[in-house]
Amino acid sequence: MFPREKACGDLVGPRGVHLLNELGVSIPGARPLGDMIVVAPNNQRVLLPALPGSNYADHAMAVTREVFDACLFDMAIAAGAHAVHKRVTGLLYEQDVVDGVQLSGGAAIRGDVVVGADGATSSVAQQAGLVDSAKALWGFALRGYLDAEVDLPHIVLWEPRPWRLFPGYGWVFPTSGNGANVGLGLAFGNDRGASRRAGEQLDDFLAHLTRQGLVPRSDVRSRTGGWLKMGVLGTVPAGRGVLLVGDAAGLINPLQGEGIAQAMASGCAAANAILAAGPRDASRHYLTYLDNAVRHHRANAPVHAGMVKHPLAVSVTSRVLSVPGIDRVVAGAWGLYWNDLATDALPSRHRRLAMASTRAISAAVRRSAAANWFATQFTPAEPTPFAAQRSLS
């Protein structure tokens, strides 16, 4: 189902590029991007090198989201998919098992399994009773384009006032043409009312970028924004007759807020689960895949929650990590850890440090509320949905 609304996100990470290569998909005009720069709140810059891995590409890819989505859409149609340009307004049940969707205009489609790929505020997830919004890690991001020559992607940790870190980060990425994609992502836990701050502060952030010499003063075009649901927390990604993929499942990386690669990979995994195990056992098969795929989310959902609560600690830590000398030791591991690439990185001192950090953080958070949620709600056994609601808001 494709209402064809504007989607956000123009940087496809190394795992996404690898998957596209495996599927033989080439995106016209895509621009490869390797190293990345993090700008600490004191404007110290750290270069995070792109490091090779066994099952991800050695680069990311910048592509306009409209171009990217249209390319995947056309390929799906060429491969036999049938497009229906309607909104899903409800789920249909046979006893307690979902067996179809109700569409705007009154028509219905029945099927063995419904795959909910309807984004962070997924109504399929809500109606199937698979999301507990009060437990989710919510964020909101805004982005736009401007004319600027940018050589490397920059992640900018910004303090609107000294030592008052913006709870999230801003970015300047080169686009596939000769421009820049600029944006601001805000994390705020379960208080979704806090989202307005991203919009209120985007112009101040752009002025900050101009003062730093990162972009010229220029009009931002095509501003658009959207919700981020991160770290899986609060969403059980499968129920009876339903599989949730991508943002609907909360698969956005809780540290850097990206989710395109996970959306593609989980879509493939859901299809494979249906083909391999059949509709009845697809949920269990899919949850077994996710159990492994979301280890990073499991360890870092509590880290994310801690960062939102303690912005001063993030300010101090990023200043320490960016001290010249320390930055050269930690930069490789920082890039691997932050981008969830450590497990599959080729052997190096960077990987060893990133894996040691993974073990230390996993041990430190094992008694957290988030760890308890994963232990009780997220298991490869047949999932139990939260109280199912049968009407969409």
Residue 119 engages ligand FAD in binding (rule: CB under 6 A): yes
Residue 143 engages ligand FAD in binding (rule: CB under 6 A): yes
Pairing of strands 45-48, 137-146: unpaired
Q: What is the C-alpha separation between 340 and 295, in angstroms, rounded?
A: 9
Q: Where is 45: in which H helix or E strand?
A: strand 45-48
Residue of 174, 225, 239, 254 interacting with ligand FAD (CB under 6 A): 225
In the complex with ligand FAD, the residue whose CB is nearer, 258 or 340, is 258
In the complex with ligand FAD, the residue whose CB is nearer, 7 or 361, is 7
In the complex with ligand FAD, the residue whose CB is nearer, 114 or 342, is 114
In the complex with ligand FAD, the residue whose CB is nearer, 117 or 287, is 117
Residue 246 engages ligand FAD in binding (rule: CB under 6 A): yes
Tally of CA atoms within 13 A in the half-sphere of 155 that contains its CB: 21
In the complex with ligand FAD, the residue whose CB is nearer, 142 or 341, is 142
Alpha-carbon separation of residue 151 from 118, 144, 361 (angstroms): 34, 18, 33
Contact (CB, 8 A) for 336 and 352: no
Q: Three-class SS string for 205-247?
A: HHHHHHHCCCCCCCCCEEEEEEEEEECCCCECCEECCEEECHH
Q: How far is the CB of 33 from ligand FAD (least distance, A)?
A: 11
Residue of 8, 92, 152, 371 interacting with ligand FAD (CB under 6 A): 8
Contact (CB, 8 A) for 301 and 254: yes
Q: Which positions from 257 to 276 touch ligand FAD by CB under 6 A, shown as an x/- string?
A: -xxxx-x-------------
In the complex with ligand FAD, the residue whose CB is nearer, 125 or 282, is 125
In the complex with ligand FAD, the residue whose CB is nearer, 165 or 252, is 252
Residue 233 CA to its chain's centroid (Å): 13
Matching residue, tokens 């390797």:
34
Binding span for ligand FAD by CB under 6 A among 126-134, 147-155, 205-213, 220-228: 220-228
Number of residues in contact with ligand FAD, rule: CB under 6 A? 32
Matching residue, tokens 């952030």:
205
The CA-based dihedral angle spanning residues 286, 291, 294, 298, taken in that order and rounded to the nearest 10 degrees: 140
Residue 154 engages ligand FAD in binding (rule: CB under 6 A): no
Tell the burial category of 375 from Cβ atoms under 10 Å away from its Cβ (0-12, 13-18, 19+). exposed
Residue 340 engages ligand FAD in binding (rule: CB under 6 A): no
Q: How far is the CB of 23 from ligand FAD (least distance, A)?
A: 16
In the complex with ligand FAD, the residue whose CB is nearer, 19 or 330, is 19
In the complex with ligand FAD, the residue whose CB is nearer, 3 or 177, is 3
Contact (CB, 8 A) for 14 and 260: no
Q: How far is the CB of 258 from ligand FAD (least distance, A)?
A: 3
Tell me how many degrees the CA angle 142-8-190 measures, rounded to the nearest 5: 60
Residue 202 engages ligand FAD in binding (rule: CB under 6 A): no
Q: Which positions from 161 to 190 touch ligand FAD by CB under 6 A, shown as an x/- string?
A: ----------------------x-------
Alpha-carbon separation of residue 288 from 14, 124, 273, 326 (angstroms): 23, 21, 10, 39
In the complex, the residues that contact ligand FAD under the rule CB under 6 A are 1-3, 5, 7-11, 13, 87-88, 117-119, 123, 141-143, 183, 225-226, 228, 246-248, 252, 258-261, 263
